[in-house]
Structure 1
Amino acid sequence: MTLLFLKLLLAHLVADFVIQPLKWIKDKEQKAFASTGLILHASVHAVLYAIAFSFNPDYWLGFAILVVSHYLIDGFKCMAGRYADNYSLPESFINRRTFFVIDQVLHLAIIAFVVSLYFTGISEWVIPQEKILALIIAVLLLTRVSSIIIKVLISRWAPLNVYDGDHSLANAGSFIGMLERLFIFVFILSGNWHGIGFLLAAKSVFRFGDLKEAHDRKLTEYILIGTLISFGLAIAVGLAYLYLI
């Protein structure tokens, strides 16, 4: 049960966060169910789910549920997103960020449901192959997936000057976030929780000069929110991994 769930979860994360081009996303947001990008995206999921099921025809029902549900959920999410952009208030919770979270929760729930169709018991231990898959998923969650989640969640508060890249390395903030989450993951696995405190203190020291010179309370709050979400996600992934293995 655990192995199949991890395979399907890995397939979902790769298809949704790693190999989905930006032009597919924009095409989906503009055309919803009429989007070629949505069809291609669902096709990628179909291929990866087939691989996860080892092309075993016995899993045809679960495969069909996953592919069709993904197409429908993404299509309705894009339709709802367009409606929210056109009619919701700026501070409303009904926006693309809300639909993004609902979308991911539904996908994960359906994966769990499909796995439950074929298994009734829960494994009490994890075989090495599952540990490897769990580690790959954890690293993926800590890097690419977390970066996208954080960007989606805090985009509504982004100050205008946060996009000024004249004095910053390209994508530096994203890579710094990935590295800090990986460090936190290692600290948790090794039992060195105090390392997380040192990491947070070090980041605060390096950021202090920028924030002091900026005299921008919004920028300070924006960075603080992003940092806390980043640390929270890393701790959650680390604890989940420890619980699993």
Structure 2
Amino acid sequence: MIILIKLIFAHLLGDFLLQPRTWVREKEHHKLLSWRLYMHVLVHGILVLLVMGSLQYWLLALVIMALHFLIDMLKLYAQNESSRTRWFIIDQSLHIIGIVVLWFIWFKPTINFAAWFNSQSLWLYATALLFLTFVAGVVVQILMSRWTEALNDLQDGSLAHAGRYIGMLERLFVFVFIVVGQWQAIGFLLGAKSVFRFGDLRESKNRQLTEYVLIGTLLSFAIAVATAMLVVYLS
């Protein structure tokens, strides 16, 4: 496992810390004709050798360089301004998956996939995360639908789906805090959200909106707390 961590460390170092924005812009503009692209790929190969600490892994470094080059080329020719974020996620996902696959083929680690796949903890946490991200959002939306309709005319041009993602993140934070036993951090999270919301609620001077936000927040937190406590109990 330490080798896999080293390879991922080398990738993150080469793709973020050792890749200036000027290199990124030049690659996007010139694509295959950009010498920065080849320098970037070479940096990744050198980093692999450095983290592995031996020149005997030169073939692994070359394979990772070739794979990195192909994935970067796919991104450079497929992305546009509107899909930049999506292709960033795809690009990084492919790099990490490629590294994991190469690590598994190259070093043949002994992993009991059957035991891992049938682990109660795996399915317990997977179910909890699925519930807290997507399912709980729908539950909160349905439970608050009667008040949502009444406040539709108060929309102030907020970011699209921002409320949904804020709810997902706050439930995940609460879940993690409880699982690791840091209950006091939930109070900090609730306080921080209250501070950020206070200005909007004060300016709106609308009691219905204040009550709506308060009910939504408490309901979201309650679901996250109950889920986390159930997971801790069953673990």
> Could you tell me the TM-score, scaled by structure 1's length?
0.52
Q: Which of these residues, 180, 183, 193, is aligned with residue 194 of structure 1?
A: 183
CA contact (8 A) 1:187 1:193 kept: yes
- What is the alpha-carbon distance in structure 2 between the residues aligned to residue 41 and residue 102 of structure 1? 18
Q: Are 1:112 and 2:100 counterparts?
A: yes
1:86-110 per-position Cα deviation (integer Å, ceiling 9, x unaligned):
xxxx6xxxx1122111111111111
- What is the alpha-carbon distance in structure 2 between the residues aligned to residue 41 and residue 6 of structure 1? 20
| Shift in CA distance, 211/38, structure 1 to aligned 2, threshold 3 Å | farther
Higher relative contact order at CA 8 Å, sep ≥6: structure 1 or structure 2?
Answer: 1
Equivalent in the alignment of 1:47: 46
- What is the alpha-carbon distance in structure 1 between the residues aligned to residue 37 and residue 182 of structure 2? 42
Q: Are 1:61 and 2:59 counterparts?
A: yes
| Shift in CA distance, 200/20, structure 1 to aligned 2, threshold 3 Å | same
Equivalent in the alignment of 2:200: 211
**Aligned-residue CA RMSD in angstroms?**
3.2
- What amino acid is the match of 1:200? L
Q: How does 1:3-18 map to 2 (within 5 A)?
A: 3-18=2-17
Decide which structure has the larger Cα Rg and report it: 2
- What amino acid is the match of 1:42? V
- What is the alpha-carbon distance in structure 1 between the residues aligned to residue 50 and residue 192 of structure 2? 41
- What is the alpha-carbon distance in structure 2 between the residues aligned to residue 27 and residue 206 of structure 1? 42
- What is the alpha-carbon distance in structure 1 between the residues aligned to residue 109 and residue 193 of structure 2? 46
- What is the alpha-carbon distance in structure 2 between the residues aligned to residue 108 and residue 27 of structure 1? 24
- What is the alpha-carbon distance in structure 2 between the residues aligned to residue 158 and residue 80 of structure 1? 30
CA contact (8 A) 1:38 1:75 kept: no
Equivalent in the alignment of 2:27: 28
Q: How does 1:47-196 map to 2 (within 5 A)?
A: 47-57=46-56, 59-81=57-79, 84-85=80-81, 95-122=83-110, 191-196=180-185
Number of aligned residue pairs: give it: 148
CA contact (8 A) 1:23 1:37 kept: no
| Shift in CA distance, 214/100, structure 1 to aligned 2, threshold 3 Å | farther
- What amino acid is the match of 1:205? S
1:9-65 per-position Cα deviation (integer Å, ceiling 9, x unaligned):
1011111122221111111111222222222221221111111222332x2332111
- What is the alpha-carbon distance in structure 1 between the residues aligned to residue 189 and residue 41 of structure 2? 40
SS in structure 1 of the partner of residue 105 of structure 2: helix
> Could you tell me the TM-score, scaled by structure 2's length?
0.54
